[in-house]
Amino acid sequence: MKKSQQVVLIDECFMSCHVRILENLIWKETLFRFGALSIYKKYTDRIDIDSAQEEERKATARQVADAVLAELRKRDPLAL
């Protein structure tokens, strides 16, 4: 990961724990943080993953993945 040109972090929490950890492990310039919460805007009151139906979780994950890929393509259309 330290030698990667770009590291993509899909962060879903307002506390940004993962991004703070990664910023201490890799060059900040290589880190692309994508805030998934801004896309799906739900589940903020839930801790247990099973509190949402599996199909709903999969659909939300697909929505976030599509948004991440679209953003990465905007930054560098030839990268993907």
35 in Cβ contact with 63 (< 8 Å): no
Indicate the pTM of the whole model.
0.68
- φ, ψ of residue 3 in degrees (nearest 5): -95, 0
**Per-domain residue ranges of the chain:** 7-75
Adjacent-strand bridge partners of 7? 31
The string of pLDDT tens digits covering residues 53-67 is 889 889 988 998 999
- Categorize the per-residue pLDDT at 69 as very low, low, confident or very high, splitting at 50, 70 and 90: very high
What is the spatial distance between Cα 47 and Cα 70, in angstroms, rounded to a whole number?
28
Dihedral pair phi/psi, residue 63, rounded to 5°: -60, -45
